[in-house]
Chains A and B, each alone.
Chain A
Amino acid sequence: MPRWGMVIDLDRCTACQACTIACRNENNIPFAGPDHASKGRAIFWNQVLPFKEEGEQGYSRIRFTPLPCMHCDRPSCIKVCPVRATYKSEEGIVFQIFARCIGCRLCMCACPYSRRFYNWSKGHWPEIMQSAFNPDVSLRPLGVVEKCTFCVHRWQKAREKARSEDRPIREGEYVTACVQTCPAKARYFGDLDDPESMVSKLARSRRAFRLLEELGTHPKVIYLGEGEWREDI
């Protein structure tokens, strides 16, 4: 049984936000519009965030970190859901069942990474723009919490194909939209339990770390730290 995970190499990442837009288009995520956006209600399943670091030169260095859902092995969001609208699948993906969600937003408080979003509006898609909807992904109703699914509809397709050919899903057969589009090739996706897969090789790198590991969430998104230029190349 695979355990799906992602590796993000911050030394390759350019903070271009292609992942954000690929995710929005793939998953039919509405734009919030200026009013909602100014209230912090824009939905980004995958978001690049700037972090300021005090610098010695009179300006703060800004570092950028792309944040999808961490798909924790021990997700704190699941524990607090009063209606069991969120759960972790056998293959490690943390799901949200929209029809069951009551919009209490406890999970949003519990998630230490702020990777859950409340649906404040239905999304105002002019009719013609609805042509671009991805038919594989349902639209979320008003008043529920939504989040990154590791593009599970792509997993479903890959699984069907693999099953029909009576074999496991091959490496690279199932990748998320953000990984597929990343122009700098900074993102990798695959089975963390397969020691031969790219992600598990990279996860063993000396640069590898996870966000807020000390909380015991066991995130399945692994970051590779930025490098430094060395004189002796």
Chain B
Amino acid sequence: MSKVTRRTFLKSASAALLAGSMTSCRIEELLEEGWPEEYEIDKPPVPGADEWSLGEERYYKSICLQCPGGCGIQVRVVEGRAVKIEGNPIYPTNLGGLCPKGQNGLQVLYDPDRIRGPMKRVGERGEGKWQSISWEQAIKELGTRLAKLRSKGESHRVAVIGGHYRGHMGPLMDRFLKVYGSPNNISHDLGMEGAMSAHYFMQGAKDYFAYDWENTNYILCFGTSLLEAGVPAAYRLRMYGQMHRGRPGIRAKLVQIDIRYSISASKADKWIGVKPGTDGALALGLAHVIIRDNLYDHTFVKNYTFGFDDWRDDSGKEHVGFKHLVIEQYPPEKVSLITGVPTKVIERTAQEFASHRPGIAIYGRGISGQSNGLYTCMAVHSLNALIGSLDIPGGVMIQRRPPFKEWWEPTLDAGAIKGLKQPRIDLAGSETFPFASSAYATLPNNILAGYPYKLDTLFLYYTNPLFSSPQISRYYEAFTKIPFIVSFSPFLDESTHMADLILPDHTYLERWEDDEIPSSTGYPLLGIRQPVVKPLYNTRHTGDVMIAIAKAIGGTVGAAFLDNYLDMVRDALEGIRTAGRGSIQEKEPQKFWAALLDNGGWWAPPYSFAQWQEVIRTPSRKFEFYSLLMKLKIDELVQRIADREGLTHEKAFEQLIEKLQLSGQGDEVFMPHYEPLRFIGDEKEYPFLINTYKVMPHAEGRGGNQPHLQEIFGLQHSKSWEPWLEIHPEDAHILGIEDEERVWVESPIGRVQFKALIFEGAQRHVLNVPFEYGHSSYGRWARNRGENLNKIIGTEFNYLTGNVSWGSTRVRLVKV
């Protein structure tokens, strides 16, 4: 990259003036030789440096965004350059601590391969030829395109795929699509819908849970690496320390139930290796022992749960209770055969868990993102209810939300109403995926089939389907059928590479945003993200861009927004100011805002326990072992099918169960039960299962372009910069595979190559691969490092929730 001295600056500035901005070049050149000169020269090396005196140093409080955890940070800025990120010592989740990702945020800000301004594709799609375009022009063109589509009555043909929405960005995108008239706000969440639905069906709250780690005595951790994938990371890590050494004389026990021997498993007091997809059976086996030995919380079960004992409904029909189901069907001997966990361990763990209250049973993507994810999560959560750990100190909590002011109700014109009546393009909420709020992995099929309609314009917000979805080749194909793709990414990831228009966002250290904490503290907590440096390049906040597009479309669409995103955020925060509670009780707007920035956020401790009306919102007002809520929704669907096809209720129900590919029968459908995992590929031909997992430096799949994180990536195996494939020593011996030998991993979908790593902590017939590698784009440090296993993972679903089943694909190993 050429250095910008004063002389070259002046020279190229005049040259650029003469030449205009019509340069276009290939992406490889951009990455290797630097960016078009007009980007280089329109900013001095340190934007805004003239506002700083020599050696001047300031600290800015803000919020991290290396994962969705939203920890408080303070950034040391010297003469306009951000030089160090530290934890915000008063922010309640992390109290000054930060995880390695959070520490490394400056490699996001100062990534040399960032996109430096809006760009428009000029060559073939994916060829990588771009032309810079002004923001005004880009917004005008996009506004015209969207307005035209809307005037033809086809506003529903616009879709947004997004993830990583922080604070009010999600509601802003919702609002835009609502007033514009498209139902297609598609979340890229691929794994956690199962867990959230379990909470919804049993407790009536569709959210993640918070846990009172500090006061708990026993933790059963199913399919989530507490110390590697926990969110908010720094909070979970702090809580690990607290559990062990926070209370004199009391040290909680952590039992890690995991497919592989992870770092969390090695830091836990016990590791229970379980066969993939059988966690649900294990949880019900534990429940069996707890009920059999009469160790459950009788008072809680009697007063606050529904469906424990057999019961009779209004029509007089007998229904089987949870107790009955579990005692009959999940004796430890049977569970042991399914899960591979010895009966002795099942008995002992259950007894310990029930007798060391308060305890918690937690779960994550590992079990949620499977074809049986919903029922597995329900099975695990029922353990919490059995020992009465709901909303008590040391138990499960429900995160309270800050008292935001609702934005005013926007006016919908006829165009919007018409568009919103269309079905969603991912069929979420339809008979195919009845309880899904999004079904992102089904998009390629629908787009290729043009069903239920053809997509016209696709927006990508902090998502990279061409890297992180299963069976990536299908997404590539689908992309060719979409006439126009817009990406907001600040980095040239795989999907942005295939876009037609790039409208780069600021990185998280350059922008204004509110950031509501994901479930953690229990009490309401809101962080404020503020720019710590002036934006380095010609980038713009996506919130502002969406508002500008809305204004360009005009009419009711434009009228739904204030002038810019920060105003919208400040409007919502009025609710907190006027509430006058929590950490800032300042009523005067200027002072309130100043205090907010000074503290890095607002919070209102403590959490009040046993607020049953808040935490249990089911129809029975009790924790439901038998989900009346699910019954209600399924009955509605069944009725619809029965009416349409002229079937009896029973027949229609059977038909629906078959369509959803459930193995549970009758009442089981509404209760926690064990569903065997569904597989892609024949066991004889493809004897191995695969498991992808997260490690701490993983940064939610966005860390590949951060060299420091790459260099500490494989702590457990002392590996860095490339992926590995963990294989059990006996399997390796049988196949004659040596350590470090390259092997093909073949599935019915395709094959990819990995370096084998013989690991005792892997299970027989299960291969483990870490996420993050295998980028074909995304900057100089991420590109061409190993393979991406997602390429060969087939698309199997949990049809109830729309989750992808990540562990369903069978594979075989072939020596290279």
A11 touches B244 (CB 8 A): yes
Per-position 1/0 for B91-131, Cβ under 8 A of A: 00011111110111011011110000000000000000000
A227 touches B96 (CB 8 A): no
- Choose from A22, A34, A127 the contact partner of B3 (Cβ within 8 Å): A127
- Choose from A13, A15, A128, A230 the contact partner of B112 (Cβ within 8 Å): A128
Q: In the docked arrangement, what's the CA distance between A228 and B253, Å?
A: 9
Per-position 1/0 for A174-188, Cβ under 8 A of B: 000100111111100
Q: Is A42 located at the chain interface by the 8 A CB criterion?
A: yes
- Choose from A18, A31, A32, A228 the contact partner of B98 (Cβ within 8 Å): A18
Other than A15-B263, A20-B100, A38-B720, give 13 A-B pairs with Cβ distance below 8 A: A17-B697, A18-B234, A20-B712, A21-B103, A32-B711, A33-B707, A64-B266, A64-B715, A131-B83, A132-B83, A135-B78, A181-B98, A183-B97
**B contact residues around A18 at 8 Å (CB):** 97-100, 102-103, 234, 237
B87 touches A181 (CB 8 A): yes
- Choose from B237, B261, B352, B708 the contact partner of A183 (Cβ within 8 Å): B237
Q: Is A97 located at the chain interface by the 8 A CB criterion?
A: no
Can you list 21 A-B contacts (CB < 8 A)?
A9-B245, A15-B696, A15-B715, A16-B233, A20-B100, A21-B100, A31-B710, A33-B721, A44-B712, A62-B261, A63-B266, A131-B46, A132-B107, A181-B103, A183-B97, A183-B233, A184-B237, A184-B238, A185-B97, A227-B245, A229-B269
B244 touches A131 (CB 8 A): no
Size of the A side of the interface (Cβ < 8 Å), in residues, is 56
Which of chain A's residues has its CB closest to B718's CB? A50
B: interface residue count bin? 35 or more
A62 touches B46 (CB 8 A): no
A134 touches B103 (CB 8 A): no
Per-position 1/0 for B341-369, Cβ under 8 A of A: 00000000000100010000000000000
Q: Is B85 located at the chain interface by the 8 A CB criterion?
A: yes
The 10 closest A-B pairs by CB, nearest first: A183-B97, A12-B241, A184-B241, A126-B112, A34-B721, A59-B760, A183-B234, A183-B237, A31-B707, A21-B100
CB-contacts of B209-259 with A (<8 A): 217, 227, 233-235, 237-238, 240-241, 244-245, 249-253
Q: Is B621 located at the chain interface by the 8 A CB criterion?
A: no
A14 touches B240 (CB 8 A): yes
A181 touches B112 (CB 8 A): no
**B contact residues around A133 at 8 Å (CB):** 83
CB-contacts of A66-110 with B (<8 A): none
**A contact residues around B249 at 8 Å (CB):** 233
Q: Is B26 located at the chain interface by the 8 A CB criterion?
A: no
Q: In the docked arrangement, what's the CA distance between A134 and B106, Å?
A: 12
Q: Is A215 located at the chain interface by the 8 A CB criterion?
A: no
Which of chain B's residues has its CB closest to A24's CB? B708
Q: In the docked arrangement, what's the CA distance between A37 and B1, Å?
A: 24
Which of chain A's residues has its CB closest to B265's CB? A62
Q: Is B84 located at the chain interface by the 8 A CB criterion?
A: yes
Per-position 1/0 for A45-73, Cβ under 8 A of B: 00011100000001111111000000000
**B contact residues around A183 at 8 Å (CB):** 87, 94, 97-99, 233-235, 237-238
A14 touches B237 (CB 8 A): yes
Q: In the docked arrangement, what's the CA distance between A133 and B83, Å?
A: 6
Q: Chain A residues in contact with chain B, CB under 8 A?
A: 9, 11-18, 20-22, 24-26, 31-34, 37-38, 42, 44, 48-50, 58-64, 126-129, 131-135, 177, 180-186, 227-231, 233
**B contact residues around A22 at 8 Å (CB):** 98, 100, 103
Per-position 1/0 for B686-702, Cβ under 8 A of A: 00000000001100000
- Choose from A37, A60, A134, A229 the contact partner of B253 (Cβ within 8 Å): A229
Contacts A18-B99, A59-B760; A34 near B112 (Cβ below 8 A): no
Q: Chain B residues in contact with chain A, CB under 8 A?
A: 1, 3, 45-46, 78, 81-87, 94-100, 102-104, 106-107, 109-112, 217, 227, 233-235, 237-238, 240-241, 244-245, 249-253, 261, 263, 266-267, 269, 352, 356, 536, 696-697, 707-712, 715-718, 720-722, 760-761, 785
**A contact residues around B217 at 8 Å (CB):** 233
Which of chain A's residues has its CB closest to B270's CB? A229
**B contact residues around A26 at 8 Å (CB):** 84
**B contact residues around A12 at 8 Å (CB):** 240-241, 244-245
B81 touches A132 (CB 8 A): yes
A37 touches B266 (CB 8 A): no
Contacts A16-B99, A61-B266; A134 near B696 (Cβ below 8 A): no
Measured between C-beta atoms, what is the minimum distance from A27 to chain B in Å?
10
Which of chain B's residues has its CB closest to A32's CB? B711
A17 touches B356 (CB 8 A): no
**B contact residues around A231 at 8 Å (CB):** 352
**B contact residues around A228 at 8 Å (CB):** 269
**A contact residues around B81 at 8 Å (CB):** 131-132
A233 touches B250 (CB 8 A): yes
Measured between C-beta atoms, what is the minimum distance from B168 to chain A in Å?
27
Contacts A17-B697, A26-B84, A183-B233; A64 near B267 (Cβ below 8 A): yes
Q: In the docked arrangement, what's the CA distance between A31 and B707, Å?
A: 6
Q: Give the one of A38, A127, A184, A231 with max B CB within 10 A.
A: A184
